[in-house]
Structure 1
Amino acid sequence: MKKTILIAILFLVVTSFITISDRVHKLIQKEIKAVFSIENFTSEPIIISNNKLNKILPLKIDETNFFKINSEANFFGYYYLGKAYGKADYFDFIVIFNKNLIVSKVKILVYREDHGGEVGSKRWLKQFIGVTKEQQLKYQKDIAAISGATISAKSMTNEINKLLKTVGILNNKHLI
């Protein structure tokens, strides 16, 4: 009896991860199609094999989080799938860059807390659009504060800053 219950619980946990992953994948596809007005595209992972470079990057880049976006023979840009920390749990977000490495879209994909979800509002996230790899954003100066979502908003701003710095380094090293 206990084994059956344990197996059932394990099955539910595993299938919930698959569903979330599937859902996130569909959201990413939807956002990329909307940003670039394309119907079909491929995502090619950016892999940094230089261990010395990996150690100096503010964010770890691997085959699961940073991708080049192509459609047929055309290159459109990049996207980064990241995590930021809220009050008690991580939330997942995507940043889409155009081919000039200018932020075209930021979207919260999965927010796992009861409070602070305001960071997912389109209005607040629009502040990041147009930001370049040369910029470093300051919370409450460049990025508006959100009452009730202070931790999530600061965390998101910090993660975007780390991403911008990482993208700048990769671009300077001609890796993207």
Structure 2
Amino acid sequence: MANQTKQSTSPQIDMDDVAEWVGLHYGRNFDHESSAKRQEWVERYAQAHGLAQGPVFVVFSPAEHEADGKGFWSNDDGWTDLEHAQRYDSNEDHLLLGQVFVTTSDAQAIEDGELQQSARFGGAYSISDDDLCASCGHCNYNPGDMSTCAKNWPSYENRDGYIRICVDYSRN
């Protein structure tokens, strides 16, 4: 029987498929990754393959987070920690508010220090076709070559350099 998992935000996903995808696209051994990193790969796989079903989002403010570590919005308490943040089933209805919505898994990665504010500023960088930037209207994406960002890369990236959150993201 295939190695499968049931996740609250996605249907059953075959872990062997995820491992193969990670190996082929990223040259990484899925089985040797930490449990947090494997969860991130599963979520990325689900998003890339249209399998994600209603991830939970929170509003994030980089400025508030930098000021006092309370960068998540609560309708009751204002800016607070992730535990007390307001959850949203979908970010689509809230995009017009001009807020930065992040998945709770990305928010947890920020709190855990696994996602850091990008040191990129201006200039051109090589980005992957499944990097968040590749689908952003501010990115002059050049597959296989260097790409630029009209907003100077206002982002958070993981330790591997993949951008997971962009505060000025604009879908193409």
Same fold (TM over 0.5): no
Report the TM-score, using the length of structure 1 for normalisation: 0.24
Normalized per residue, the structure richer in helix is: 1
Larger Rg: 1
